[in-house]
Structure 1
Amino acid sequence: MKLQPDQSDAQTISGYGPGWVGVGAERITHNVVLGSRGERFEWAGSYEELGPEHFAQIAALKVEVVIFGSGARIRFPQPAWLAPLAARRIGLETMDTAAACRTYNILAQEGREVAVALILDRPA
């Protein structure tokens, strides 16, 4: 699906599909964390590899809320993984990756300090 965001200084997602997400004209094919202030880094190899250290990376961004896109289906993180976010009083919302992309764009364009952590399931 192609997205057409309004003009904003925030980093936004321009499109997404099975196994990829677009940021501007760039197509990203690995799990990624994006921040509304331009932060971007490669993230966990898969949902099964997630642990507290992955959420600590996001907590270091000092955002208000994290949108967790858990892949093609909703998979909630283990409560122990979220300790780094809770320690900084950062909220987390879990949804499938497509919904996470859309929600992130809305919040980023509102000027919120938000990050999205995306698991990009590979097509079969």
Structure 2
Amino acid sequence: MKLQPDKSSSLTIHAYGPGWIEVNGEKFSHSLTVSSLAGAVPEKWAVSQFGALKAEDFEPLANSGAELVIFGSGQRLRFPQPIWLAPLIARGIGLETMDTAAACRTYNILASEGRKVVVALLLET
């Protein structure tokens, strides 16, 4: 039996650090969303501060076709207000919150398993 690692066709987060994230070799210095769905590309998420978040910021995530959304809340763990999650709750989509570094690692694991997952990564300016 020949063993080979599974190769994922989804986007992969290769590296991250304070103020930047690298997805498939491209470095980003703004908040972004990354999806494991076929044909997806990293998209700018127009959020620059945790305190400025609102339900409208989560609406595109609810419409993404994902079964799970991971929210990377920045350099430290901060939970979103329940009202912000209304679009996700209305569609029965699960949300996990963690700091951005943990969200990057968790996304890669779930995407490599073939899960329909979107990660929203907050990089505060």
Compute the TM-score of the two structures, normalised by the length of structure 1.
0.90
CA contact (8 A) 1:31 1:46 kept: no
User: For the residues of structure 2 that align with 1:18 and 1:120, how far apart are their CA atoms?
Assistant: 8
| Pairwise CA distance, 1:112 | 0.3
Compute the TM-score of the two structures, normalised by the length of structure 2.
0.89
**Are 1:85 and 2:88 matched, yes or no?**
yes
Correspondence for 1:29: 29
Deviations along 1:83-113, one digit per CA (max 9) or x if unpaired, are 0000110000000000000000000000000
Correspondence for 1:48: 51
Correspondence for 1:58: 61
Could you say if the C-alpha distance between residues 57 and 115 of structure 1 is closer, same or farther in structure 2, counting changes exceeding 3 Å? same
- Name the amino acid aligned to 2:29: T
Deviations along 1:30-85, one digit per CA (max 9) or x if unpaired, are 00011112243211122111100010011010211001000110010000000000
**Are 1:118 and 2:117 matched, yes or no?**
no
Count of paired positions: 118
CA contact (8 A) 2:55 2:85 kept: yes
User: For the residues of structure 2 that align with 1:84 and 1:24, how far apart are their CA atoms?
Assistant: 29
- Name the amino acid aligned to 2:66: V
Residue segments in structure 2 that go unaligned for 5+ positions in a row: none
User: For the residues of structure 2 that align with 1:121 and 1:81, how far apart are their CA atoms?
Assistant: 18
User: For the residues of structure 2 that align with 1:40 and 1:23, how far apart are their CA atoms?
Assistant: 7
SS of residue paired to 2:85: helix
- Name the amino acid aligned to 1:41: E
Kindly report the root-mean-square deviation, in angstroms, between the aligned alpha carbons of the 2 structures: 1.5
User: For the residues of structure 2 that align with 1:6 and 1:73, how far apart are their CA atoms?
Assistant: 32
| Pairwise CA distance, 1:120 | 1.5
Bigger CA radius of gyration? 2
Correspondence for 2:17: 17
User: For the residues of structure 2 that align with 1:74 and 1:59, how far apart are their CA atoms?
Assistant: 21
User: For the residues of structure 2 that align with 1:18 and 1:42, how far apart are their CA atoms?
Assistant: 17
